[in-house]
């Protein structure tokens, strides 16, 4: 028999009503009991904030602007399960749906219990679906020591972005957030008609936290359309469009080779190509090409038309390193347009041979480096790949009918170049590579010198390749081709829209890439001890190629590393890569050396070339400046904390010291003080590099604007300025950089288009026709070489840093470039 007193006590027991919302109770944090609560607002879960119904509680104070959103958020839980099976959703969707049901259903006990039972059942089904999907994902557990969430293969972009974002719940119309993208879990970028994949450089930078002070200053500049800064920027934009239009030739001659320079100039341009691009991407056999080149100057009428096109494309690439002003830009553009016309005019059957493929490879390299339609090279790379497949380059010559060693090695070299073009264009454009290692069986090129292939052609004894540890004309291409599997895997991983990137997978790929780099670095060290050895051009360019993949992997996680130590490795990797990239660039004199020496070939490429030679450097500068600003802000926050605690701080403690402040967070090896000083020195010289690009022909000055303003913000924080003083400093810096860029653009406009004074007339039609007035017959005058011309603008805007597309509703750039339209473009201005 039960004790009556125990039964009575159980009946008297009262349970305290739950006062916190479901999310705060689950996370065990203090709730302000509003609807929605502040915690849910900050976590961007305002519409899912809900409370367990209880008749003992008074109605809560509700924020009106969220009421409608909450009322509209009564989606059925069955839809969640179906959406997960079809496209995948976040794991927290079950809890969110439960909250909505708990809020919207009746408050009676019977209905509430039935509802809870149904929600538990649906959550169980959802968990089963997620477990089955998770079991099929090939992850690499144990590859990282960074603590991750339990029961998860690694935090996805959808989850970490949801936690990192601020409390602004308003979004641009048409913006595709993580919930609306199914299993991809990443923000999608559709800029005008361009879809940007995960490897595009703007995708990584878009995840960095916004700079509010800088944004507010630019917002004020934008609102005042009568200010001198606004008018100067608007004039500069119109000048840039006019210069770009004037550089497109109105008529391309069908008689190829009519605009070649004198032989002395042609010799220099051809040799410049041989010592730079041909050392990396093997396209032609240099000795045989030299022979045909000499025959051309003896009797140009007998030259093959395909050889003339090849010669012009080689010289176009050579103009990039001819000087640091890119004085022959106009001729380079003319030659590239003629090559494109030849590919359209010639019979397609005539292109299905090694000579035609060589032209297609050279045209791709020239367009990408010279900036002539560089934003569309990924599309043309697909045509190149299919033409190579049509020619059978994807099959090793051992499986084809017997051919000479020269032909076999030429095919292997061309296929390696085609693969390099495919993966590089995929990374730069943010598109999938559309090729895998199992799609071909062509071996790496043999380790031959070019002369040995010609000798074998005339010999009865077959030549044998050199050992891989012996440096030859093809050694760098072989070394790069050995890392092709991991680089293809990274490109596919970053641009795969079907699955969400996880940090575990990122670290696993980074580890594999590091192993490949160690092997690559070991063989390069061996080559450096030999004679002949690596050139001063080959080493830094190959390093930059590999650095591109590390940045693409880790840059999307850099913004999260500011407040989450789990992603510290990505922060350290980005900073190390950015620092060494810029230090290497300074060694090669991209700004000129201390003793006044001119830049070498690599330094000139950084000033004159487009594509990765431009935006990788800009990426690295933004990374360094951003992390330095984070360090300064953390230092200021620590000072405020000490002030509030009443601690006595001397002036030395209050003044930020970059040398002593950066060592811990940057994690650089060696002498931290010296390297920290060098980092600061690098970013202080960065506006000089972007300004040098404008002088060499870069008509898009937005990178110069933005880099200079971020540097000014860093200098202001370093001096300990408050927000008001910092805003005034940024205003002054904006006036200076805009004025500098405008003066350069006016000079270029006067030289290339027309009268300098006419550029200052608002609304004037500045478009002009063909600009090849200096060209006469087959020779050119010195005016073309002395012209400080501007960059050949491409038809699309993205690769030219033309961020006019930021007004597009599908574009969300966390540096808040929506407020930077004044600088980063708005055609309606």
Q: Are 283 and 413 in contact (CB under 8 A)?
A: yes
Return d(Cα 245, Cα 766) in angstroms, integer. 9
3-state secondary structure string, 162-177? HHHCCCCCCCCCCCCC
Residue 357 to residues 127, 132, 389, 444, 457, Cα–Cα distance (Å): 53, 47, 11, 18, 21
Side-chain half-sphere CA neighbours of 189 within 13 A: 27
> pLDDT at position 827, please?
36
Q: What is the pLDDT of residues 512-549, one digit of tens each?
A: 999 999 999 999 999 999 988 898 899 999 999 999 99
Examine the pLDDT at 156 and tell me if it is beyond 60.
no
Looking at residue 107, its pLDDT comes to 45
Counted residue by residue, the chain has a size of 829
Least confident of 95-99, 297-301, 357-361, 657-661: 95-99
Residue pLDDT, tens place only, 685-717: 888 888 889 998 888 888 888 888 888 988 888
User: Is the pLDDT reported for residue 132 higher than 60?
Assistant: no
What pLDDT score does 483 carry?
94
How confident is the prediction for the chain on average, in pLDDT? 73
Q: Rounded to an integer, what distance in angstroms lies between the CA atom of residue 490 and that of residue 822?
A: 36
Q: pLDDT exceeding 70 applies to what percent of the chain?
A: 66
pLDDT at 308 over 90: yes
**Residue 255 in contact with residue 766, Cβ under 8 Å?**
no
| Token pair 């409390």: residue | 167
pLDDT band, residue 369 (cuts 50/70/90): very high
Is the pLDDT score of 829 beyond 60? no
Strand 194-196 to strand 779-780: parallel, antiparallel, or no bridges (unpaired)? unpaired
Check residue 780 and report its DSSP letter: E
Q: Using the predicted structure, report yes or no on whether residue 141 has a pLDDT greater than 60.
A: no
Q: How confident is the model at residue 364 (pLDDT cuts 50, 70, 90)?
A: very high
Residue 439: per-residue pLDDT: 93
What is the pTM assigned to this prediction? 0.70
DSSP string across 537-564: THHHHHHHHHHHHHHHHHHHHHHHHTT-
What integer pLDDT is reported at residue 527 of this predicted model? 94
Kindly report, residue by residue over 244-253, the tens digit of the pLDDT.
888 887 766 6
pLDDT at 207: 60
| 647-700 tens-digit pLDDT | 555 544 455 554 444 443 343 333 445 667 788 888 888 888 888 899 988 888
Cα-Cα-Cα-Cα torsion 3, 8, 11, 13, nearest 10 degrees, comes to -100
How many Cβ atoms are within 10 Å of 321's Cβ, its own excluded? 25
Mean pLDDT, range 113-134, rounded to an integer: 67
Q: Which residues pair with 776 in a beta bridge?
A: 779
pLDDT digits (tens, 9 = 90+) for 187-226: 456 766 777 777 887 776 666 666 777 778 878 877 788 8
Q: Are 339 and 331 in contact (CB under 8 A)?
A: no
Greater confidence, 84 or 220? 220
Q: What is the pLDDT of residue 372?
A: 87
Across the range 9-19, mean pLDDT stands at 64
* The pLDDT of residue 345: 78
Q: With the CA atoms of 427, 430, 433 and 437 taken in that order, what torsion angle do they form, in degrees rounded to the nearest 10?
A: 50
Average pLDDT over residues 111-135: 65
* Residues whose CB is less than 8 angstroms from the CB of residue 641 and which lie 6 or more positions away in sequence, other chains included: none
3-state SS assignment for residue 728:
helix
More confidently predicted of 15 and 311: 311
- DSSP lists the bridge partners of residue 35 as 62
For residue 686, give the nearest of 703, 665, 699, 674 by alpha carbon.
703
Closest CA to 710 of 686, 692, 694, 728: 686
Cα separation, 492 vs 469, in Å, equals 31
Q: Is pLDDT at 181 greater than 90 in this prediction? A: no
* Between residues 787 and 107, the one the model is more confident about: 107
If one compares 224 and 183, the residue with the highest pLDDT of the two is 224
The predicted-structure confidence for 264-274, as pLDDT tens digits, reads as follows 999 999 999 99
Phi then psi for residue 190, to 5 deg, are -120, 100
């Amino acid at each position: 028999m039960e004790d009556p007193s125990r039964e009575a006590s159980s009946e008297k027991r009262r349970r305290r009503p739950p006062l916190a919302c479901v999310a705060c109770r689950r996370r065990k944090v203090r709730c302000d009991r509003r609807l929605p609560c502040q915690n849910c607002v900050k976590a961007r879960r305002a519409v899912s904030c809900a409370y367990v119904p209880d008749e003992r509680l008074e109605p809560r104070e509700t924020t009106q602007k969220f009421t409608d959103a909450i009322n509209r958020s009564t989606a059925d839980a069955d839809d969640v399960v179906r959406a997960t099976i079809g496209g995948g959703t976040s794991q927290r969707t079950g809890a969110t749906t439960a909250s909505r049901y708990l809020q919207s259903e009746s408050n009676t006990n019977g209905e509430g219990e039935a509802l809870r039972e149904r929600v538990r059942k649906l959550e169980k089904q959802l968990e089963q679906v997620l477990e089955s999907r998770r079991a099929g994902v090939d992850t690499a557990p144990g590859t990282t020591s960074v603590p991750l969430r339990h029961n998860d293969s690694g935090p996805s972009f959808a989850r970490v972005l949801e936690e990192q974002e601020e409390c602004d719940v308003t979004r641009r119309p048409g913006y595709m957030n993580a919930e609306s993208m199914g299993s991809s879990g990443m923000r999608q970028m559709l800029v005008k008609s361009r879809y940007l994949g995960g490897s595009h450089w703007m995708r990584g930078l878009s995840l960095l936290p916004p700079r509010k002070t800088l944004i507010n200053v630019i917002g004020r500049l934008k609102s005042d359309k009568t200010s001198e800064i606004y008018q100067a920027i608007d004039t500069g934009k119109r000048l840039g469009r006019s210069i770009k239009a004037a550089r497109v030739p109105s008529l391309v001659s069908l008689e190829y080779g009519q605009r070649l320079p004198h032989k002395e100039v042609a010799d220099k341009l051809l040799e410049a190509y041989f010592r730079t691009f041909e050392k990396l991407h093997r396209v032609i056999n240099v000795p045989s090409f030299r022979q045909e080149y000499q025959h051309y100057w003896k009797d140009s009428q007998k030259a093959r038309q395909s050889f003339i096109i090849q010669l012009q494309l080689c010289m176009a690439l050579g103009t990039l390193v001819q000087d640091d002003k890119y004085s022959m830009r106009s001729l380079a553009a003319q030659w590239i347009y003629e090559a494109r016309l030849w590919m359209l005019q010639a019979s397609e059957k005539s292109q299905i041979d090694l000579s035609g493929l060589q032209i297609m490879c050279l045209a791709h390299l020239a367009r990408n480096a010279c900036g002539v339609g560089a934003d569309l090279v990924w599309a043309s790379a697909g045509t190149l790949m299919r033409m190579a497949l049509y020619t059978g380059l994807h099959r090793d010559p051992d499986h084809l009918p017997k051919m000479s060693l020269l032909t076999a090695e030429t095919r292997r070299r061309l296929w390696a170049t085609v693969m390099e073009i495919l993966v590089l264009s995929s990374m730069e454009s943010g598109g999938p590579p559309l090729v895998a290692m199992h799609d071909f069986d062509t071996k790496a090129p043999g380790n031959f010198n070019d002369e040995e292939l010609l000798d074998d052609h005339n010999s009865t004894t077959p030549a044998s390749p050199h050992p891989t540890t012996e440096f030859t004309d093809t050694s760098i291409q072989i070394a790069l081709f050995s890392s092709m599997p991991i680089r293809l895997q990274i490109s596919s991983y970053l641009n795969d829209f079907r699955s969400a990137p996880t940090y575990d997978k990122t670290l696993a790929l980074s580890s594999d890439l590091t192993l490949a780099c160690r092997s690559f670095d070991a063989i390069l060290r061996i080559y450096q001890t030999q004679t002949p050895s690596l050139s001063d051009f080959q080493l830094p360019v190959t390093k930059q190629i590999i650095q591109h993949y590390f940045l693409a992997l880790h840059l999307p996680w850099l913004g999260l590393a500011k407040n989450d130590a789990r992603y510290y490795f990505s922060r350290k990797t980005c900073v190390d890569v950015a620092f060494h990239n810029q230090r290497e660039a300074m060694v090669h004199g991209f700004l000129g050396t201390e003793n006044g020496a001119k830049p070498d070939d690599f330094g000139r490429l950084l000033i004159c070339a487009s594509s990765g030679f431009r935006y990788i450097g800009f990426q690295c500068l933004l990374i360094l400046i951003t992390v330095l600003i984070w360090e300064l802000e953390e230092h200021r926050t620590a000072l405020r904390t000490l002030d509030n605690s009443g601690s006595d701080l001397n002036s030395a403690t209050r003044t930020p010291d970059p040398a002593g402040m950066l060592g811990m967070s940057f994690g650089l090896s060696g002498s931290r003080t010296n390297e920290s000083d060098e980092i600061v020195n690098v970013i202080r010289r960065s506006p000089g590099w972007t300004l040098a690009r404008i002088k060499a022909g870069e008509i898009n000055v937005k990178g110069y604007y933005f880099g200079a303003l971020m540097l000014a913000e860093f200098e202001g924080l370093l001096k300990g300025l408050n927000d008001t003083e910092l805003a005034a400093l940024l205003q002054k810096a904006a006036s200076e950089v805009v004025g500098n860029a405008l003066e350069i653009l006016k000079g270029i406009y006067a030289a290339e288009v027309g009268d300098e004074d006419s550029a200052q007339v608002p609304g004037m039609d500045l478009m002009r026709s063909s600009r090849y007035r200096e060209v006469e017959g087959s020779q050119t005058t010195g005016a073309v070489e002395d012209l400080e011309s501007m960059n050949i603008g491409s038809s699309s805007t993205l690769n030219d840093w033309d961020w006019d597309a930021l007004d597009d509703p599908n574009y969300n750039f966390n540096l808040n470039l929506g407020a930077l339209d004044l600088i980063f473009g708005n055609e309606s201005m």
